[in-house]
Amino acid sequence: MEMKTDIVIVGTGVGGLFSALNLPRDKQIVMITKEDMQSSDSFLAQGGICVLRGEEDYSSYFEDTMKAGHYENRKESVDIMIRSSREVIDDLVDCGVEFERQNGEFVYTREGAHSKPRILFHEDITGKEITSKLLEQVKKLPNVAIYEYTAMTDILERAGRCHGIVAKTKAGEEMEIWADYTILASGGIGGRYRHSTNYPHLTGDAIEIAKKHGIRLEHLDYVQIHPTTLYSKKSGRRFLISESVRGEGAVLYNKRKERFVDELLPRDVVTKAIEEEMEKDGTDFVWLSMEHIDKETILGHFPNIYRHCLEEGYDVTKECIPVVPAQHYFMGGIWVDCDSRTSMDRLFAVGETSCNGVHGANRLASNSLLESLVFAKRAAAAIDGEIKGKGCRRDE
């Protein structure tokens, strides 16, 4: 099977969807996704999305991001993300996304390694709220066709330029999708790990394909472990206990119910402390207590976490829950510039698939949705500029 389109996008998470929404409406777009449209990690994000609250917040937001990333971040990319954050939030609101408000004003929360509250949220399902609303908007576009249960197996390369992708359907039928431009937004690598918060089908396919074609990769060893996922002996994806729970006052205890770490330190620091405590105590988990958070806040801000834990037999309003670190996020990936261009002409990458340097060696909480959206919009703008002859192609 062979088809021709103007632009092909691999992935239906926020990166792929926001790219589609910002591309020219007169261009035909084909989107594919390995499973169904809702099975992307973007839907799973609990905590929220960061935003610059004002110029007085810039320095601390920049420093918080750099510090969490061990100062290995690309400063230009961090600056672009922060400066673009308010515009992206406005775009999301225009798409129907609802963030927590009080008396008409946004409510901001704080998470680990943030020096002040700057995170917008929708209960504890912010990713689902954002991604579902973007998907609704994309489905309305007459120039976009979405193919579910279709996995990319290769890219089409001619003379060092990307001309689209090769994909395989669930029935095993191979498709060649020829396109003037290709955007890779296929998510992370969690499916390669025994314990991960990611969907198991996210196995870093784009990374393997890029490596095969000699496309530049960066920081493949930068993998983030989330400190607090609900401990379970069941197989499958681990349920994440959002960092915003600790931001609201939850504390970590060892088996003797003693605190052993500052819960608001960066994720890698908290993870290391938990692992050391488990090894010292000979346990498979530590305890997370929400005793310092009032019941109204738990039910209002964290209803999904409350319900899920209850299904597992834990009432977080009355008792501690067992938590354990698990693979969560991939900071490395396909190298891209500040407009999401890869090292191959006509090939772009956004979201967790890409590495634009924003996160450095360790992502700051709630920067992932924002980073994906900002650089997806920039990818769309760069493609639009090239189509109109205003941008610079690599062969020029």
Q: What's this model's pTM, rounded to 2 decimal places? A: 0.90
Asked if residues 266 and 113 have their Cβ atoms less than 8 Å apart, the reply is yes
Above 50 in pLDDT, residue 353? yes
**Residue carrying the six token digits 């929400």:** 290
267 is catalytic: yes
- For domain 2-150+331-387, the CATH superfamily is FAD/NAD(P)-binding domain (3.50.50.60)
pLDDT of 392 reads 53
pLDDT of 390 reads 61
pLDDT of 306 reads 97
Which region holds residue 237: left if phi is over 0, alpha if psi is between -120 and 50, else beta?
beta
Q: What is the pLDDT of residues 266-297, one digit of tens each?
A: 888 999 999 999 999 999 999 999 999 999 99
Q: Please, which pLDDT band fits residue 48 given cuts at 50, 70 and 90?
A: very high
pLDDT of 395 reads 42
> In this prediction, what percent of the chain has a pLDDT beyond 70?
98
CATH topology assigned to domain 227-327: Flavocytochrome C3; Chain A, domain 1 (3.90.700)
Asked if residues 374 and 22 have their Cβ atoms less than 8 Å apart, the reply is no
Asked if residues 168 and 174 have their Cβ atoms less than 8 Å apart, the reply is yes
CA dist 188 to 136, 175, 279, Å?
23, 23, 28
Above 70 in pLDDT, residue 112? yes
Segments making up each domain of the chain, as ranges: 2-150+331-387, 227-327
For the chain, the first-to-last Cα distance in angstroms comes to 33
Please pick, among 267, 341, 346, 363, the residue that the annotation labels catalytic.
267
